[in-house]
Structure 1
Amino acid sequence: MCLVSIVNFLLFTNLQGQYKSTLTCPTCSTTSVTFDPFMYLSLPVPSTARRAMTVTVFSTDGSRGPFSYDVSVPQFGTLSDLVQALSAACTLGDDETLLITEVYNNHIIRYLEEPSDSVSLLRDGDKLAAYRLPKHYEKSPLVVFTHNFFIEHSGADSVTPQRKEFEAPLLASISETIDGLTLQSIYLKLLNPFQFSKSTSSLTDGERCSGDCAVDPMDATPSYQDESVPLEDNPERSHCNTNGCEVMDGPTKSYCGLTAVSDKEEDMELFEFYLTNERNDIQHARIEMNDLKLIETTPNRFHVSVHWYHSASRQYNTSVLNNLPEIHKLELIPKESEDCVALQGCLEAFLKEEPLGPEDMWYCPCCKKHQQAMKKLDLWRLPEVLVIHLKRFSYTQFTRNKLETFVDFPISDLDLSSYIATKNEQPNGHYHLYAVSNHYGNMGGGHYTASINQEGKGWFKFDDECVTPISEDIIKTPAAYVLFYRRE
């Protein structure tokens, strides 16, 4: 036997282990078992670091007012994690689903519909709006309303009216054929939660004001049907805000943001509707209410720009429409409960049963077609020298992350006996640590060191050409990347 063959034989004997891989068809329960060799265990590193995110949820049927929820998701979690947390926070019904969108410059710029996308794609300063929709809304087109109102702009020589857009669009599902009157009815229904109550009707024209307002908006209560919206907590409602005093019909009028709710027939003159595209470019002239067939085959998303008259602006509390909160900053869990996971937790995450990805479908010989089978890994045989790689680096199509999670690994006795699928003719499953490879830095660059236990002499740190003795109690760090164990 040649020297190379001997070396390879010794390496394989000492370093090579074996998996048992079981695939199970979710339809007929047919199983397929294979055995695969491994030279090292590459274990995922579960992270307990969390990210606090704020999302404002809107109804799409006018049944409740918007409300902003603070939810906590894994630091490198997915949109599926965000939807799950937000659904629980807003008590989403079984017949409802959430459509989360990213809002920028008063428009929806992205629909967050891919569950596997990472939340790390969302920046701290982004603004999110979620809409409660019927469970199977995908079968119906959506109408997206952007809206604007007049504000007073003081120049050097004159006062001129300018239009300003409300920050938060409104959204609803619609039928495939829609007319002008139906479009207005849908929009008015969406505005129901923002409408001031009838108590504001006691305000007379004499109580309206220009310039500095003397009327206390706390005397008027918006008719939110969702009692969870604490309007009195908003400091903007303790004085006349931008949406009140500055809204105007033309250059000569300015009122407080409160007045009587108009009769239904007067609603016809509150708004102007225009068909637009996604960039809010107006496509044609104003939509008239007597348009019997505004559009016969509605596209998947139908965009409308609504121009508010001042009379409309005085009837609705628009502070939520004008002030979407930003996503909160990244927050790690408090230091007293550090982001820490045991090595056994990494191993269990690696061995747990999970479905194959859509791109890795398995051909079931019984069903005669590709199926998204369940996959289960088991440790079948362990090597004399066990190398464990901690997967601290994660890659997606758009992101690259490094996990700084502290992994608590045994030094003197790693017991894997309970994880071995077969007990027949197996050596003992106890190992002790003799070396650690550490990585310091991030995805852009870093530095490697090694900690090695020399029999009878203790632990040493190898950092380039510098070798120094170290104590055993500083071996464990968040930089640990590759662990080397020898069977006892």
Structure 2
Amino acid sequence: MNAVVQCLSNTDLLAEFLALGRYRAAPGRAEVTEQLAALVRALWTREYTPQLSAEFKNAVSKYGSQFQGNSQHDALEFLLWLLDRVHEDLEGSSRGPVSEKLPPEANKTSENCLSPSAQLPLGQSFVQSHFQAQYRSSLTCPHCLKQSNTFDPFLCVSLPIPLRQTRFLSVTLVFPSKSQRFLRVGLAVPILSTVAVLRRMVAEEGGVPADEVILVELYPSGFQRSFFDEEDLNTIAEGDNVYAFQVPPSPSQGTLSAHPLGLSVSPRLAAREGQRFSLSLHSESKVLILFCNLVGSGQQASRFGPPFLIREDRAVSWVQLQQSILSKVRHLMKSEAPVQNLGSLFSIRVVGLSVACSYLSPKDSRPLCHWAVDRALHLRRPGGPPHVKLAVEWDSSVKERLFGSLQEERAQDADSVWQQQQAHQQHSCTLDECFQFYTKEEQLAQDDAWKCPHCQVLQQGMVKLSLWTLPDILIIHLKRFCQVGERRNKLSTLVKFPLSGLNMAPHVAQRSSSPEAGLGPWPSWKQPGCLPTSYPLDFLYDLYAVCNHHGNLQGGHYTAKSVTAE
């Protein structure tokens, strides 16, 4: 609501109209417009108080039941509702001349292009006079080439964004060895997909079966979520630290190198790393454990050293579990640090549960049989082997004595990281390209076949949408939310546009008469400066306000930005 009001208050025509009281409100039903006018007036006279926003919100809730309460709403939905409400409140108060409506037959399909004099009038209210225009939908018969047109009004042009097929994502591959090696690779992942696709791509990079890959996210505070196949890939942002582990071999199997049981790293990674991912058999008595070392406890702990993946028997004692962990981190310790008879060196917490009930007990004869481990293993979804994530928490003094100033692991970047970053940074589109996509001619689907009034048979005609007239105030909406199947996603494509002199001439339908006919003069409230003489003034626009959405489909925030061209 605040972002929309900021944009409207910077709309010179509307702000002057409301703040100076140049409207004639319909008696008894203009409460929303009156409160909006009071709010705009206060913003421009620096007399604003929060009470004015509260009174405006109350008026909105009174006449728009969908906006009652404090739930989140779409800014465009609210903007169009508000303009429509102002139109209803002020209908008949337009300063322009009253125009007659088109006869009923003018709204029906007609051959070829209608003359400009037959276009639908903009109406009588202030909103219709300055915000509303018309678009034309043309349907051409592929057989007789006859064209039929329908005309509809609009307050906003909702532009689709040319869909980018892929986006950049980096994943750190963990190579199992005594000292563990890390290689960050860059991937071009599909823009609309699931984690299952990412898992297959990572498996291909590492040369291992996809069902042996565990995908997890690491924060400076340790392990966070594990990723499962049916999750939307857009839940993973470009900057998230995603690690890919391959299940280690069981002790009885050893390292298997024969094909197909042992699959080597892809050639380009093998040349760099000289490492192998190895396949192993799963035993129900064993449990896969991902653990990382932290200094401190709970949510305040910070990670040091690399993460590890081990396979352990669930029947082990606390001492055996501690020795297993120590054997993995021994190479990180100071050479003089003793590792025998040190008692209970650290605490172990199961990640993903509340801190209060997730610690394993040193007094438990079989700590890995803890109910928290059971829950982590069984509350899983398809995608990767079952595993449990543990946080090994060290006291700061013990950590300093044994590990010194050891920091997090260093991951080497493969060439693909830079290559994919560059490839995706260069992807963008222009506002003109969005308009071209919007007005692109398309063929009707077979289910939408149209009966040509001349051929009298069903035809899959060509339909084209174009702007017929232009308003004084042009509202453009970028459709960043798209839906494919049951999934909805937010597009992050960069859209480039001019701050001044946006030429809309290429996107207005061609007419049989001169292009200036019927479009009206340039508004007197804002005369442009130096402009190309080849462009009619009616087609040129300056940007003055932007309403931005931050976040995703689950939630977000709106901000408004005032734009001035330098």
Question: Is the strand fraction higher in 1 or 2?
Answer: 1
Verify same fold: TM over 0.5: no
Q: Which has the higher helix share?
A: 2
Name the TM-score, length of structure 2 as normaliser.
0.33
User: Normalising by structure 1, what TM-score?
Assistant: 0.37
Higher relative contact order, chain-length normalized (CA < 8 Å, sep 6+)? 1
